[in-house]
Amino acid sequence: DARSVLPNACASSIVISLNLRELIHFVNLRLCTRAQLEIRQLAKKMCEEILKREPWLKSHLVPKCERLGYCDEDNSCKRMPLKSEVLRTEVSNG
């Protein structure tokens, strides 16, 4: 975050080595709207490139809340219902 407030910002070089399981985990966390903007943009670009060659991964390379069906973050973006709301609904229906 500090680099983005400097007058000209500072470029960073990043080298990432991930297996498929870690790639999915990384993307699930970093596509969340609560993630830092620059990392979210990086994750999105990674997904675009990967999906060109492996379109079957599309349902896996999504924000965690989309995969789970609820948000488990403390400060939710309200895109999906909170985990507690989903559990309360299941208990009352159950």
Catalytic amino acids? 30
What is the SS3 string spanning 1-51?
CHHHHCCCCCCCCCCCCCCHHHHHHHHHHHCCCCCCHHHHHHHHHHHHHHH
Q: Show the CA angle centred on residue 56, arms to residues 51 and 62, nearest 5°.
A: 65
